[in-house]
Amino acid sequence: MRRIKDIALCAMMLAMLETVKRALDFVPNVELITLLFILFTLHFGLKTLPVAVAFTFLETAFWGVHNWVIMYLYMWPSLILIVYLTRKHAGHLFYCILSALYGLFFGALCSIPYLVAGGPAAAFSWWIAGIPYDIIHCISNFLLCLLLYRPLNAAFIRIKSKGENLENL
């Protein structure tokens, strides 16, 4: 029974990710994926890792295969691992700063495949060209985390407690 609940939980996390991704697709570099992965990891731990992989595959099915698929396969699990390793000692402000830094350095981190494929010049030029978008990503991630972390965290706490109460029936 536990395995079925875990599959359902992962499916709901994936559905939330896809819903907010589609809802904000029209706004360049404004996303809730980073915040949701932070909260999912804080509440559900490493169960979030397969969700990151499933999210990448679902995005690939929707948008097709390109370099970003490789990037997503290390970017989101890296964030999940950072959050998992810091979860006992970090708080709201830390996650606001982490999400901002993740947005700011998203382009730099995504330039790794270009480094391998085209060398340092290709990676550097790709990263530099995207800096204005990384700045938008940084600011929007910080503000979204600042505004939504606490209410979403409280909602996750309520949802988890209701789920635990159902298990005790």
Domain that holds residue 60: 2-167
Question: What's the CATH code of the domain at 49?
Answer: 1.10.1760
For residues 9 and 40, the answer to whether their CB atoms sit within 8 Å is: no
How many domains in the chain?
1
**Tens-digit pLDDT string for the chain (169 aa):** 578 888 998 999 999 999 999 999 999 999 999 999 999 999 999 999 999 999 999 999 999 998 888 999 999 999 999 999 999 999 999 999 999 999 999 989 989 998 888 899 999 998 999 999 999 999 999 999 999 999 999 999 998 887 765 454 4
The pLDDT, as a whole number, for residue 169 is 41
For residues 60 and 101, the answer to whether their CB atoms sit within 8 Å is: no
pTM: 0.93
Phi, psi of 10 (to 5 degrees): -65, -40
Helix residue spans in 24-105 (DSSP H): 33-44, 48-63, 67-86, 92-104
For residues 17 and 51, the answer to whether their CB atoms sit within 8 Å is: yes
Q: Which of 109, 89, 92 is nearest to 101 (CA)?
A: 109
Distance CA 40, CA 126 (A): 31
Query: What Rg value do the Cα atoms of the chain yield, rounded?
Result: 17
The pLDDT, as a whole number, for residue 66 is 86
